């Protein structure tokens, strides 16, 4: 006799979902009963942590990941992280238990009355099986939906009495068939369209590429590099990209576009054709007046997401697998005779600085001391601009952040990334504010001896919000200062090897030691200067490179 629980485990094993990220309640215990010895379970102390860990793990492994959270309140806690996963297009299979079917009518404890509704709109699909025997079929469907472009999280609610249900032979046979079937996305790219786009790229005087994180999810990074080299095109990363999509140390790479329409059209001046690959056009943030594109510039948009294509304010869009599209373009385009665009300035050798130091000095020291194969996860508010200027990784999957911008992603995602890429040093680049949203991740890091290194820029404020306060011309805003956080002591209390660096030499030494220590997590806290009033947030306009002061653009 086979139970629904056994058939469920069997199905998840077949799909490689043997690492679970979770926080349990009693509604999940019937699923966790007799947990298989060939699976592993990583506990997070609040639901945000397992969701973020699964997100980082999935992005690095290129596989779906399983999250098990508690019914209604647990799912509620998970929502911020689920929002990030949805925008990151991460295929998470999120499961929560629910009260026994026979007790739900009385709204007893554990009842999630409208479980399917709760995680919307941040899941692609959400279901509770109509009957116990359908659990494996619903889970199989959920996995295939999560892995269909655009990928994204799905949710399945499992009433706890379903697990012990005994399947009959016919049901077992049907479940075995659906356990073993596969869904393959086999779309190509039409040759006539490839020819047309290649024609426009060849005819352009100065094409520019804007890449998004999906380029890496789609395995298209290398072909995109080849295409950019063949076109001699400058390459920018789109605002809020998730992954950077291009080697950040490549001579064609220009940096991260700032997230305002006026800023973007300013940055792209001089280019007559933009090829936007693998993301929205664009993920704008503050209202920065200006045209979407420079005058006489046109845009071609290739995305796997029909909604991104539909909602873009400019450009001709093509909905396709990114890699198939770029490979088709490579088949139609020859080496350009254009001259190469100027490379962005090299980062200067870091100067020795003492605390409180400028954020730029901190990240210059980190960029210099970190090994070439490091995988960086950043969640650092005002520090993001100096990070992209000074930390320039080359290999694929080297710089991850949350497309959604929901804080609480950085630490858990870095843990998940380290689990997914055990042979690479993972370095989390954190703001002191950002790191506190999912601070209990530090316990998970110590508990499972995850050898992550964390560098914190402690400016004792929500610095970037002060920058945006100035853009919004708001005054008298309360609650933007964070005095009295003792990050070193907090991390040490969770069992992390925690240090305070007092100058850049010490920081570099501690960072290297942290990276070399493969036995557990290391944290290096560094006191940094507060952001300057009216400094430009989240921008890396060519004219604002390497710390030059600029006025805040005014609202018109």
Cβ-proximal residue to ligand TPP, closest one = 431
Closest CA to 330 of 474, 237, 225: 225
437-496: contacts with Mg ion (CB under 5 A)? 459, 463
407 contact choice in ligand TPP, Mg ion, none (CB below 5 to 8 Å, kind-dependent): ligand TPP
Cβ nearer to ligand TPP, comparing 149 with 386: 386
Q: How many Å apart are CA 306 and CA 309, to the nearest integer? A: 5
Rule CB under 5 A: is residue 254 a binding residue for Mg ion? no
Cβ nearer to Mg ion, comparing 203 with 477: 477
Residue 242 contacts residue 403 (beta carbons within 8 Å): yes
Residues 6+ apart with CB under 8 A from 514: 453, 497, 522, 523, 524
78-117: contacts with ligand TPP (CB under 6 A)? 80
- DSSP state letters, 343-407: PPPPPPPPPP-BSSB-HHHHHHHHHHHS-TT-EEEEE-GGGHHHHHHH----SSS-EE--SS--T
Rule CB under 6 A: is residue 128 a binding residue for ligand TPP? no
Rule CB under 6 A: is residue 52 a binding residue for ligand TPP? no
80 contact choice in ligand TPP, Mg ion, none (CB below 5 to 8 Å, kind-dependent): ligand TPP
Q: How many Å apart are CA 398 and CA 373, to the nearest integer? A: 8
Rule CB under 5 A: is residue 84 a binding residue for Mg ion? no
Contact letters for ligand TPP, residues 444-463 (x by CB under 6 A) = -------------x-x-xxx
Q: Work out how close the CB of 526 gets to ligand TPP at its nearest, in angstroms, rounded to a whole number.
A: 12
Q: How many Å apart are CA 58 and CA 85, to the nearest integer? A: 10
Residue matched to tokens 């629980």? 5
Rule CB under 6 A: is residue 381 a binding residue for ligand TPP? yes
Q: Where are the beta strands (DSSP E) in 408-540?
A: 426-431, 453-458, 497-501, 522-527
Closest CA to 397 of 235, 203, 209, 241: 241
Rule CB under 6 A: is residue 539 a binding residue for ligand TPP? no
Cβ nearer to Mg ion, comparing 260 with 431: 431
Among positions 152, 416, 431, 521, the unique one binding Mg ion when judged by CB under 5 A: 431
554: DSSP letter: P
406 contact choice in ligand TPP, Mg ion, none (CB below 5 to 8 Å, kind-dependent): ligand TPP
Q: Is 488 left (phi over 0), alpha (psi -120 to 50) or beta?
A: alpha
What are the tokens at 346? 């090299």
451 contact choice in ligand TPP, Mg ion, none (CB below 5 to 8 Å, kind-dependent): none
Rule CB under 6 A: is residue 536 a binding residue for ligand TPP? no
Among positions 162, 214, 384, 432, the unique one binding Mg ion when judged by CB under 5 A: 432
260-289: contacts with ligand TPP (CB under 6 A)? none
Residue ranges binding ligand TPP (CB under 6 A): 80, 380-383, 405-408, 431-434, 437, 457, 459, 461-465
Residue ranges binding Mg ion (CB under 5 A): 431-433, 459, 463
């Amino acid at each position: 006799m086979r139970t629904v629980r056994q058939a469920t485990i069997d199905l998840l094993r077949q799909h490689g979902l043997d690492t679970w990220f979770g926080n349990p309640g009693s509604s999940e215990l019937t699923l966790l009963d007799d947990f298989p010895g060939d699976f592993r379970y990583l506990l997070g102390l609040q639901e945000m942590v397992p969701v973020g860990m699964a997100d980082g793990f999935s992005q690095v492994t290129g596989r779906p990941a399983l999250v098990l959270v508690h019914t209604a309140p647990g799912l509620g806690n998970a929502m911020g992280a689920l929002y990030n996963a949805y925008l990151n297009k991460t295929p998470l299979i999120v499961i929560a238990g629910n009260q026994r079917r026979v007790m739900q009518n009385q709204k007893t404890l554990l009842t999630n009355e409208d479980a399917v509704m709760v995680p919307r709109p941040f899941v692609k699909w959400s279901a509770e099986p109509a009957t116990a025997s359908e659990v494996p079929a619903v889970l199989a469907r959920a996995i295939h939906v999560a892995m269909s472009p655009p990928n994204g999280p799905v949710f399945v609610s499992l009433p706890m009495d379903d697990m012990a249900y005994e399947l009959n032979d016919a049901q077992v046979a049907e479940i075995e068939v659906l356990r073993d079937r596969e869904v393959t996305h086999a779309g190509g790219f039409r040759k006539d369209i490839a020819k047309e786009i290649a024609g426009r790229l060849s005819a352009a005087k100065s094409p520019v590429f804007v890449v998004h994180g999906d380029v890496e999810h789609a395995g298209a990074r290398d072909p995109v590099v080849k295409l950019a080299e063949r076109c001699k095109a400058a390459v920018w990363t789109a605002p809020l990209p998730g992954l950077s999509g291009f080697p950040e140390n490549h001579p064609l790479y220009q940096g991260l576009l700032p997230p305002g329409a006026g800023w973007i059209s300013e940055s792209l001046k001089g280019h007559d054709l933009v090829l936007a690959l693998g993301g929205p056009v664009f993920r704008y943030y503050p209202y920065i007046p200006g045209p979407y594109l420079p005058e006489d510039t046109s845009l071609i948009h290739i995305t796997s997401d029909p909604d991104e294509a539909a909602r873009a304010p400019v450009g001709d869009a093509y909905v396709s697998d990114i890699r198939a599209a770029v490979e088709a373009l490579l088949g139609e385009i020859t080496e350009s005779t254009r001259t190469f665009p100027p490379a962005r300035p090299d980062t200067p050798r870091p100067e020795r600085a003492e605390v409180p130091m400028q954020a730029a000095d901190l990240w210059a020291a980190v960029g210099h001391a970190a090994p070439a194969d490091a995988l960086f996860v950043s969640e650092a508010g005002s520090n993001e601009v100096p990070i992209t200027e000074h930390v320039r990784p080359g290999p694929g999957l080297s710089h991850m952040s949350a497309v959604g911008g929901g804080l609480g992603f950085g630490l858990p995602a870095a843990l998940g990334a380290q689990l997914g890429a055990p042979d690479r040093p993972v370095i989390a680049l954190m703001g002191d504010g950002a790191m506190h949203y999912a601070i209990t991740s530090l316990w998970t890091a110590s508990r499972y001896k995850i050898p992550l290194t964390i560098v914190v820029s402690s400016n004792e404020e929500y610095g970037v919000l002060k920058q945006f306060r100035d853009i919004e011309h708001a005054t008298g805003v309360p609650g933007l200062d964070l005095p009295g956080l003792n990050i070193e002591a907090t991390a040490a209390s969770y069992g992390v090897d925690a240090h305070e660096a007092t100058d850049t030499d010490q920081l570099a030494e501690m960072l290297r030691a942290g990276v070399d220590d493969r036995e557990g997590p290391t944290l290096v806290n560094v006191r940094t200067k507060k952001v300057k009033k009216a400094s430009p947030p989240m921008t890396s306009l060519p004219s604002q490179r390497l710390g030059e002061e600029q006025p805040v653009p005014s609202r018109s």
